[in-house]
Structures are given as C-alpha cells and as structure tokens.
Copies of this chain bind each other. A is one copy, B any other.
Amino acid sequence: MKKEIPYKIYLEESELPKKWLNLRAFMDKKPAPLLNPGTLKPMTAEELSAVFCDELVAQELDETTPYIDIPDEIRDFYKMYRPAPLVRAYCLEKALGTPAKIYYKFEGNNTSGSHKLNSAIAQAYYAKKQGLKGVTTETGAGQWGTALSMACSYFNLDCKVFMVKVSYEQKPFRREVMRTYGANVTPSPSTTTNVGRKILEEFPGTTGSLGCAISEAVEVAVGSEGYRYVLGSVLNQVLLHQSVIGLETKTALDKYGIKPDMIIGCAGGGSNLGGLIAPFMAEKLQGKADYRIIAVEPASCPSFTRGKYAYDFCDTGKVCPLAKMYTLGSSFIPSANHAGGLRYHGMTTTLSELYHQGLMEARAVEQTEVFKAAEQFARVEGILPAPESSHAIRVAIDEALKCKETGEDKTIVFGLTGTGYFDMVAYQKFHDGECPTISPPKKTLQKVLQACQL
C-alpha cells in the first residue's frame, strides 16, 4: 500500500543534504567557459579572484567534482529555515478539476522571502573565511539583497547593495528590511560609480536593470580594499548552492515513491531553476530517467525563447567577463515589469547549454496571465506568491489544465521560489487593471542582438 501523501512533506533535519550537486560534472559537453573580454581567452582563477572570493572561484571553475561538501557552518544556518517543505497542491488540483498531481517546493519560508538565502549564506561564509571586510552586490526584486544582508549580518560582514531603481521605488520596504540587517542600499544606476554615471548619461530616466546594477557593484568591489563582489544568480557557484532545493525535492519525492513527469521553474538568471532541476537533470544526463523540464520567463525579457546563444557580457556596463549564453544583448533594458528578479538579459551558461542540447524547454508568458495565476493560487493554496514565482505557477496551471482535457494524471512539480509580500504595488496595479501586456519591441530586440555579436 502506498503511503498517504501529506499536504506538506517535511524532511528531517538529518535529511538536509550534506553535499551540493555540481551539474556540470554530469555533462559530456560542458558549458562554454567565461572569457576575458580583453584577450577573449578563458578567465583564469587569478583573474576571477580579483572580483570573487578564492573558494568561490574554485567552485566556479570546477567542472568535474560531482558532489561538493556543504560546510557545517552553512548547514547550521540552513537548519534555521530548511529543509523547505514540498507541498502537495491538493486545493489547487481541486479548484482546477484536474487529474494531474501538483507539487511545489516552497522556498519562501524565510525572511528574504525566497530561495536566494541558500547561496547568500554560502557566499558570505566563504568571504568571512577569507578574512574579508565585506561584499558588494546588486539586487533586482530585492530578495537577493535581503538574503545577502541577512547572511552578512549573521557573519558580521559589511554589505553594500545596488538595487535596480524600479524595484527600489516600487518596494520602499525592501530597503528597510535590508537596513534592519545592517546593509547599505543604493538605487541603480547611481551617480556613485563611473559606470552608473555613464549609463545615466546614455539612458537618462532609465529604471535600471540587473545588468546595470552588477556593473556598479563590481566597480565598487574591485576598487575597495578587503571587498569582493557576490552575485545571486547566473554563476555556476550559485547553481551549485541552489542544488540544495532540488536535492531536498528529490529526497521528498523518493520517500513517497513519486516520479515527476515534468519540472517547472521560473528563469531570470537561472539560479532557482538550475538548483531545482539539478538531481533530475543529472539522472537525465546519465540516461537513468527522463523528465520534461520547462523554464518559464516573462514575455518582456525572453532570453531563452527569443534570445541568441552567443558570447555576451554578463553586465550592461561591460566590465564583467563574457559568457556564452542565451542573451537579449547586454544593452537590452527590459520594459518595467513587475518581476524584477526576472529582468536579466541573459541566462546562466549551464542552462543555456542544456537548452541548446534540447534537454529542456522554455516558455514565455504575459504578465497579466501571470497575475491571474498568482491570484488563483493565493486564494486556494493560501500563499501569496512572488511575481517571479508566479511565472512557474502560470505554466503549472496550464499544464494541469491540459491534463484535464486529456484525462492524464501527470505529476507536475514546480518551484515556488518566494512570497510576494513586498510586491503589493504590483498586485495593486493588477487589481486596478494597470498591468499591461508587455512584449519586447521587435526593433529594439534586433538592434541589441546585432550589437552583441562578437
């Protein structure tokens, strides 16, 4: 007899993963290396260590170690909010009238409000271990900035955050949360950096983007004694840390003998999706199992579905290395939408390569449809989702409705990356009908794609 599946599957503390999973180690064809934009040669550890902590550089370049130990200090912090629950969406299934079985891995039960804390605490730990004074970073929706503030506060490190201006203005309280944890927060683009001033000259009145904010944070880190830059997404090291999401998800599913048919996650830079799918994709790469894997992105920033697989700068200011990725062009600044965390022009190299190899799918969704899904989900499942996470909800609901048509009882797992408590301006606009359907203007898109050809 099968065990009855509870609403929430909680693992024991002892089942918290002891190692992260390094997805690249399972790939025959590895993601393309980061290139030095000056020499167009692969970035060396030495070059990277001017920007990143040494141990994180090692993780960034490690393509062969399949599992990497999670230090005890990090596991202790994880224990404050992990293992995160895997929830069976019984109420959503009922509301949809679908035979599909829907599960979501909920990463919002911590004050940063998202999965970002998983990598923030790791990066802060390695910075502390290296004896640094502090770190700089960028934040879009504010979740990464909050997470890093919390992590730095825990290890008593200084934390300087450049926050994408549109989020800074839409989410005044996010800044206050970061301040509660002792961080400095500057709206980006700002006049405090060379690159910020240059971007403001070129695009006056811009509401900013993750790409701009990254440039500013890197400039400050490189120019300050005892500081390094940390990034909440895109990098290999971040995907590595986020694999804790997928590892827990798989352990929970295995415990109840559940094999998912598809795994769905929103994708901005790719950190949550890369983490969620890690052990499943590893099985797929080894031919042990097959899963449909779907990345969901906003129609206003569709790097997978409308971008190009090419080397491009990771940041708007073009101070960072080049990465081979699906990109809309490093000078692409998406129109102001309400999912700040998905406003990134590119996609992490690992997922880009997997997508290129046809091992995963991608779908772009419109904002209004995303908020409809968010509200429907909130009303039956109780949790008020972040706009970013709601992209995954949209596609999970769409797939569940397809099952309703076909009568198939597929098992759908999606990542509910965070809560929307600081996104109420976005919800308000949706309620007031001020949530326009946004697609990228075709001309702009072509122009920036031409510009990013090397």
A126 at the interface (CB under 8 A from B): no
Instruction: Flag if B176 contacts A424 (CB, 8 Å).
Output: yes
User: Digit string of A97-112 for contact with B (CB within 8 Å is 1, else 0)?
Assistant: 0000000000001110
Return the contact of A382 from the options B80, B176, B424, B427 (Cβ within 8 A): B80
Of residues 265 to 296 in A, which have CB atoms within 8 Å of B's CB atoms?
A: none
CA distance A150 to B150 in the complex (A): 29
Which residues of B have CB within 8 Å of A10? 10
Q: How far is the CB of A141 from chain B (nearest CB, A)?
A: 14
Stretch at the interface among A178-186, A223-231, A251-259: A178-186
User: Digit string of A330-353 for contact with B (CB within 8 Å is 1, else 0)?
Assistant: 000000000000000000000000
User: Of all chain B residues, which has the CB nearest A108?
Assistant: B109
CA distance A172 to B381 in the complex (A): 23
Of residues 356 to 408 in A, which have CB atoms within 8 Å of B's CB atoms?
A: 375, 378-384
CA distance A422 to B181 in the complex (A): 16
Which residues of B have CB within 8 Å of A87? 80
Of residues 395 to 454 in A, which have CB atoms within 8 Å of B's CB atoms?
A: 419, 421-422, 424-425, 427-428, 431
Of residues 163 to 197 in A, which have CB atoms within 8 Å of B's CB atoms?
A: 172-173, 176-177, 179-182
Q: How far is the CB of A183 from chain B (nearest CB, A)?
A: 11
Tell me whether A384 and B111 are in contact in the complex, defined as CB-CB below 8 angstroms, given that A13-B6, A176-B431, A431-B179 are known contacts.
yes
A18 at the interface (CB under 8 A from B): no
Instruction: Flag if B427 contacts A381 (CB, 8 Å).
Output: no
Return the contact of A181 from the options B80, B177, B378, B425 (Cβ within 8 A): B378
Return the contact of A378 from the options B12, B180, B424 (Cβ within 8 A): B180
Which residues of B have CB within 8 Å of A113? 421
Return the contact of A180 from the options B6, B13, B150, B431 (Cβ within 8 A): B431
A7 at the interface (CB under 8 A from B): yes
Instruction: Flag if A383 contacts B111 (CB, 8 Å).
Output: yes
Q: How far is the CB of A182 from chain B (nearest CB, A)?
A: 7
Tell me whether A382 and B180 are in contact in the complex, defined as CB-CB below 8 angstroms, given that A7-B13, A13-B6, A173-B424 are known contacts.
no
Which residues of B have CB within 8 Å of A150? 379, 382
A128 at the interface (CB under 8 A from B): no
Instruction: Flag if B419 contacts A111 (CB, 8 Å).
Output: yes
Q: How many copies does the complex hold?
A: 2
A59 at the interface (CB under 8 A from B): no
Instruction: Flag if A176 contacts B111 (CB, 8 Å).
Output: no
A153 at the interface (CB under 8 A from B): yes
Instruction: Flag if A375 contacts B180 (CB, 8 Å).
Output: yes
CA distance A422 to B12 in the complex (A): 31
User: Of all chain B residues, which has the CB nearest A7?
Assistant: B79
Which residues of B have CB within 8 Å of A428? 173, 176, 179
CA distance A172 to B154 in the complex (A): 31
CA distance A363 to B434 in the complex (A): 48
Tell me whether A80 and B153 are in contact in the complex, defined as CB-CB below 8 angstroms, given that A176-B428, A182-B379, A384-B111 are known contacts.
no
Which residues of B have CB within 8 Å of A383? 110-111
Which residues of B have CB within 8 Å of A13? 6-8
User: Of all chain B residues, which has the CB nearest A112?
Assistant: B382
User: Digit string of A112-137 for contact with B (CB within 8 Å is 1, else 0)?
Assistant: 01000000000000000000000000
Of residues 182 to 241 in A, which have CB atoms within 8 Å of B's CB atoms?
A: 182
A91 at the interface (CB under 8 A from B): yes
Footprint of B on A, CB under 8 Å? 6-8, 10, 12-13, 79-81, 87, 91, 109-111, 113, 150, 153-154, 172-173, 176-177, 179-182, 375, 378-384, 419, 421-422, 424-425, 427-428, 431
Task: List 4 tightest A-B contacts by C-beta distance, closest first.
Answer: A173-B424, A7-B79, A6-B13, A176-B424
- Can you give 27 A-B contacts (C-beta < 8 A)? A6-B13, A7-B79, A7-B80, A8-B13, A8-B80, A80-B382, A91-B154, A110-B382, A111-B382, A111-B419, A154-B382, A172-B424, A173-B421, A173-B428, A176-B424, A177-B384, A177-B421, A177-B424, A179-B427, A179-B428, A179-B431, A180-B378, A180-B379, A180-B384, A180-B431, A181-B378, A181-B379
Q: Known pairs A10-B10, A81-B382, A154-B382. 17 more at Cβ < 8 A?
A: A6-B12, A6-B13, A6-B79, A7-B80, A80-B87, A80-B382, A111-B378, A150-B382, A153-B379, A173-B424, A176-B424, A177-B384, A179-B427, A179-B431, A180-B375, A180-B378, A180-B431
